[in-house]
Structure 1
Amino acid sequence: MIRLLPAALLALLATPAPAAELPRDVAAFTARRDRCDHFRGEESDDPARAAEIARALDRNCRGTDAELARLKRRHAGNPAARARLDRYEARVE
C-alpha cells in the first residue's frame, strides 16, 4: 500500500540541510564578540561592577575590529560564515 505524505511534510523533507558548522575561527570570534557586545550594553553605578565591566570590555573587545575584517576576507567564499560575520558592527573599539 502506498501512503502519501502531507504537502507540509514533503516541503520539510525537500528543504536543504542547515549550513555546515561555522569554521572554528569564526565560531571562536562570534563567541568572543557576543561577550563584547553584551558588556558594551551594560552600565553600573557601582564602582566595583564598573571595573569588572571595563576589564571584560578590554578582554573581549580589544582587537575585534581588525579580527572581523580579517575573517571577512578569509571567509569571503563561505556564505554561512560571511552571513554570520556581517551581523557585527565593523567598529566597536
Structure 2
Amino acid sequence: MTDHADNTPLTAETLQKEILGFLTERIKTEVQPDQDLFASGVVSSMFAMQLVVHLEDAYDIAIVGGDLKLDNFRTVVSMADLVLRLKGDTEAAGNA
C-alpha cells in the first residue's frame, strides 16, 4: 500500500500530512508535526519499527545503518526530512 500518489510532488508539507494521517489512524491520537512522539509517550520504541516499515513501503526507500536511529523518528518533521533525504539519495544514485 502506497500512501503517496506518484503524480504529486513529494514535499516536506505533503510528507508531514501523510505521516500525520498514518499516525492518527494507528494511535488514535492527533499529534503535532514537531511533537516528540517518544518523550510525550504517544508512541513506544516498539512502534518505531512499524514507522520504519511504513515509511519504507509508502515511499519506496530503504532505511538502514545510521538512518535507523530513534532521532529520525522522534517527530513527524524528522521523519519527513529523512524520507526527502533518502528519496534524493535514491534519485541521485539512479542517475549515476
TM-score (norm 1): 0.29
TM-score calculated relative to the size of structure 2: 0.28
